[in-house]
Chain A
């Protein structure tokens, strides 16, 4: 086969070639996309989250004591429900950010209870900040203001939710430390810790 005929063939590929190219492309696209999503979803499970002892020994244990773990109705929110965004693009961004967490896992930044406790305030503030930025988007996947019946709520909740709605507050402004232990409040709110305050 001469070069000329090869070029001619490439210029005018047979319909069979085009068709098979399309089919192969489509099928492999489905496989790759499906595989990618499956792999990503696998990292979006509680089992995956607590496969690191840093998560299992600290924050997970605290969470099992809270209402998001056991409650009257048996509805449970697991790690990704609160910590991974549902919209695809935000989910991607969060997953990329998680590579930093893998880096610190390798460094062993919080591999003991003491190290974790030392960093707890900073880590908690990171989560609080991101929730403030997104207007507590992950909370609102389940807790929607529009679906709330204030009449059904308790006295304290009615008062604070009505004010919150008017002043544009977001869930995390008040609901801190509800699924994990609060960090030491010496710096954040010294009035809520024992000990004298320096003037």
Chain B
């Protein structure tokens, strides 16, 4: 009899504890505590950095970042706007950084005379930058030996 009362008390307290932890971990919407029928706060549109000197790499094998705006720079079957400045034929004239030779290798490791299809879409790895604070604080430090 005593045992069952104790067990009952234990279960009750466990349930109470459970409900408080649930309340604490209530899901908060990404759009903040704004009612559904009212417009959420407008987020400032971040502007891309336009025209800086090349940005140093932070870690080995980091794809170099794009230090300028690329609005309207299309990459399609007919042409790659980036390469009109960054290709080996054009970089001297334009003063741009030239595309790495590693981009001429296909996945079998064979080098070709032009950019390989798998490395053709620049923005898969290379991205323009905005002057934005990190969303989550971190203690990342750039590798010193490559700077």
A residues in contact (CB < 8 Å) with B: 65-67, 154-157, 159-160, 177-178, 181-185, 189-197, 199
| Residues of B participating in the A interface, judged by any CB pair closer than 8 Å | 50-53, 68, 72, 74, 77-81, 83-84, 87-90, 94-95, 112-115, 117, 120
Query: Which of A156, A194, A197 makes the CB contact (< 8 A) with B113?
Result: A197
Closest A residue to B87 by CB, please name it.
A191
Q: Of B81, B90, B94, B115, which one neighbours A182 at CB under 8 angstroms?
A: B81
5 of the cross-chain contacts (CB-CB < 8 Å) are A66-B72, A189-B84, A195-B114, A196-B114, A199-B113
Q: How far is the CA of A191 from the CA of B79 in the complex (A)?
A: 9
A194 to chain B, nearest CB (A): 4
What's the Cα separation between A196 and B94 when bound, in Å? 23
Chain A residue with Cβ nearest B88 = A191
Instruction: List the A side residues contacting B81 at CB < 8 Å.
Output: 177, 182, 192
* A177–B74 CA distance with the chains assembled, in angstroms: 10
Given contacts A189-B79, A193-B79, 17 further A-B contacts (CB under 8 A): A67-B72, A154-B68, A156-B95, A183-B78, A184-B77, A184-B79, A185-B79, A191-B87, A191-B114, A192-B81, A192-B87, A193-B83, A193-B114, A194-B114, A194-B115, A196-B114, A197-B113
